[in-house]
Structure 1
Amino acid sequence: MTRTAISPRLATRTFSSGLTFAVAATGVLSLRLACVVRESRAPRRGRAGDHGHTAPHGRHRREPGLRDYRSSDDDNGRWVGFPFREGDIVISTRSKSGTTWMQMICALLVLGTPDLPAPLTTISPWVDHRVEPVADVLARLEAQRHRRFVKTHTPLDGLPLDPRATYVVVARSPLDMAVSLYHQGANIDRRRLRELTGEPEPTTPGPPRPDLHAWLVAWTERETTPQESLDSLVGVLHHVTDAWRRREAGEVDVLLVHYADLLADLEGEMRRVAAALGITVVEDRWPALVEAATFASMRARSADLTPDTLGVLRSKEAFFRRGGSGAGREVLSADELARYDARVRALAPPEVVAWLDR
């Protein structure tokens, strides 16, 4: 694969070879993408957002060879038939792992200015999210004339892998991701979310919410699968390990970015991302672009940058809560950390563990 230098507004490349948001038993928000086994479950009725590229009962078609990740408000079947263009950027992350941060970085690099022409989620939509008709999402992307960058929380084994695209996978220490996920649980308007996805109101109140320590211990020990809960420890490690292996095999253009590296050297990481994407930025523009990507600047612009145009979040400012590293290890005891570390080593290759859990 060879890349050509491009302007910040247009990218071309030449290749040498042709949430779901659910309240679990603990009462805390989790993003659960459930795999649907067709033979074992009755068809669901179509719900809000089941528009375009659908099969009977509002189901989206499956592409052969892709793993199914589906929930009441998130469906990777919406990627079926996605009209890729040369240079498309697919940002694939777990929840609370730097998704919006990378979307903003890509916006700054592609557009070449901190002054975005529309809210970030409008420019860079979440393709899998069923709260908006997929036909509307695709129409908006079709109208874009700059290089496109889209968001997904689906691992690469659930996405069509197109040689014209670059897949940017951002990851974070699983414990830090989990702490952020716990705190975001209090910021979700679940009634509004159920309204958008067509889910029924609960008939009985849920259990009381556990404190952070109890919830985090349970999160580290939970036995599940990626299809049942992508935001579990098992799901996080699967997402990163799958991307790592595909990058090493060279089967698709994958760029791995660590949240901690963005915190430690934002400008250096932005320059690395630009180089990987083949984007040339005029040197005197870098200071303004880097400043616009700082956590403080993004929090100040939360109204335009928070991924919530439909009122699911109670507070857009609270979405940008802390932006740090190490919070998870501060919560657990030495014995609990030892059990966590042992489980991580059992679930992922050593090179992935060494890179990820820092």
Structure 2
Amino acid sequence: MTEADLYIQYKGIYLPSLVHTAYSLKQYEEFIFRPDDIIIATYPKSGTTWMQEIVPLVVSGGDPESVESLPNWDRVPWLEIHQTSDLALSKRPPPRMFATHFHHNMMPPSFFEVKPKVIYVMRNPKDVFTSSFHFNGMTTFLVNEMSQSEYLKKFLEGKAAYGSWFDHVKGWLNAEDKENVMYIAYEEMITDLKDSVSRISRFLEKPLDADIVEKIADRCLFKNMKQNNMSNYSAVPEEFMGQAKLDFLRKGIVGDWKNLLTDAEVELFDAIYQNKMKDVKYEFAWD
């Protein structure tokens, strides 16, 4: 099926209509933030699920109860999807934790007024593309009948679901009030997860002893998180996500794009990346 069959457009961005409705987007626009809210912002396939495991553990001081008893889409729900409307978010105790795949300029008015804390997770766009290509192939709500070259063209042109990776990253990097935003890369988390957990705890003003940091980091290793049925999406019905043919938590590695992209595709990707990001003054972990 095509974009017209599966997607709606919101502020010029394609969104899967199965999880985004006119009603949910209206609720999103009217959502009232609190200063102590915590937002995990990501372009899809950049480490969202990973951060939905880490942040609740940091906030709870290492208590695993929430990550063992609540699916990640309930414990750290996406603000913009229709399933979230049933969660009575206004009654949740602080700090509330949310996720979003939306661009910075798509955040609702209350976000800019209240200025809650944001953890923005970035990942090498080649790995984002690779993970997205595999993920699309296992879902029924994303366009998945394209060849690799067709999907790469859509991705690089910003015509895939959730728009341009380049615009998403640049928009969040250019956010005002940067003291309220923590930037972290998937690659940094792979390299030193304990250091990443420590950085997150300091940013959230939730100091943790070294032994708690180590326990959280160990629990959040990909191989361990993959066994958590509250995090591995095994509870999602097969008609939405076909995990019989591919695990949602697939590899969790850096550089898997080398197993997918051809030399010509890498050359094209690099040329577009250099052009799109030439004015960005930020030292990415994958450069």
2:35 to 69, 86, 89: 86
Are the aligned partners of 2:154 and 2:160 in contact in 1 as well (CA < 8 Å)?
Answer: no
1:167 counterpart (95, 107, 118): 118
- State TM-score, norm by structure 1: 0.67
Matched, 1:238 2:160: no
Gaps of 5+ in 2: none
Query: What residue is the counterpart of 1:181 in the other structure?
Result: 132
- What's the secondary structure of 1:280's corresponding residue? coil
Distance 1:77 1:322, change over 3 A: same
CA deviation after TM superposition for structure 1 residue 329, in Å: 3.4
Find the partner of 1:124 among 73, 76, 88.
76
Q: Give the aligned partner of residue 12 of structure 1.
A: none
Provide the C-alpha distance between the structure 1 equivalents of 2:153 and 2:281, rounded to a whole number of angstroms. 19
| Structure possessing the higher radius of gyration over alpha carbons | 1
State the secondary structure of the residue aligned to 1:318.
Answer: coil
Tell me what 1:157 maps to.
105
1:68 is displaced (CA, Å) by 6.9
Q: Specify the code of the residue in structure 2 equivalent to 1:265.
A: D
Does 1:289 pair with 2:216? yes
Give the match's secondary structure for 1:90.
Answer: strand
Match of 1:305 in 2: 231
- Aligned length, in residue pairs: 272
Instruction: Give the residue type in structure 2 aligned to 1:143.
Output: K
**Runs of 4 or more above 4 Å deviation:** 67-71, 206-209, 223-226, 307-310
Any conservation in 1 of the 2:137–2:144 contact (CA below 8 Å)? Answer: no
- 1:61-140 aligned at under 5 Å gives the runs 70-72=15-17, 73-74=19-20, 76-112=25-61, 113-116=63-66, 117-130=69-82, 132=83, 134=85, 136-137=86-87, 139=88
Of 318, 336, 340, the residue aligned with 2:247 is 318
Residue identity opposite 2:160 in structure 1? S
From 1, 5, 9, the equivalent of 1:34 is 9
**DSSP-derived class of the 2:258 partner:** helix
* Cα distance change of structure 1 residues 209 and 259 upon mapping to structure 2, 3 Å threshold: same
CA contact under 8 A between 1:244 and 1:352: conserved in structure 2? no
**Counterpart position of 1:263:** 190
What SS does structure 1 have at the residue aligned with 2:90? helix
Q: What secondary structure, in the 3-state scheme, does the structure 2 residue paired with 1:167 have? A: strand
Partner Cα separation in structure 2 for residue 351 and residue 165 of structure 1: 24
- What is the CA-CA distance between 1:310 and the residue it aligns to? 5.0
Aligned letter for 2:64?
P
Cα distance between partner residues in 2 of 1:250 and 1:282? 29
- The CA deviation string for residues 150-173 of structure 1, in whole angstroms up to 9 with x for no partner, is 111111110033434112111111
1:24 Cα offset (Å): 4.3
Q: Look up the equivalent residue of 1:264 and give its one-letter code.
A: T
Q: 1:221 aligns with which of 144, 153, 168?
A: 153
Residue type matched to 1:328 in 2?
Answer: W
Residues 356 and 281 of structure 1, relative CA distance in 2, 3 Å threshold? closer
Unmatched 5+ stretches in structure 1: 1-22, 26-30, 37-66, 195-205
The share of aligned pairs that are identical, in percent, is: 21
Question: Are 2:40 and 2:98, in contact at CA under 8 Å, matched by a contact in 1?
Answer: yes
RMSD: 3.1
Indicate conservation of the 8 Å contact 1:94/1:230, yes or no: no
For 1:168 and 1:218, locate their aligned partners in 2 and report how far apart those are by CA, in whole Å.
32
| Deviations, residues 70-103 of structure 1 (Å, cap 9, x unaligned) | 5513254432221212211111111111001011
The alpha-carbon distance between structure 1 residues 170 and 253, as it changes in their structure 2 partners (threshold 3 A), is same
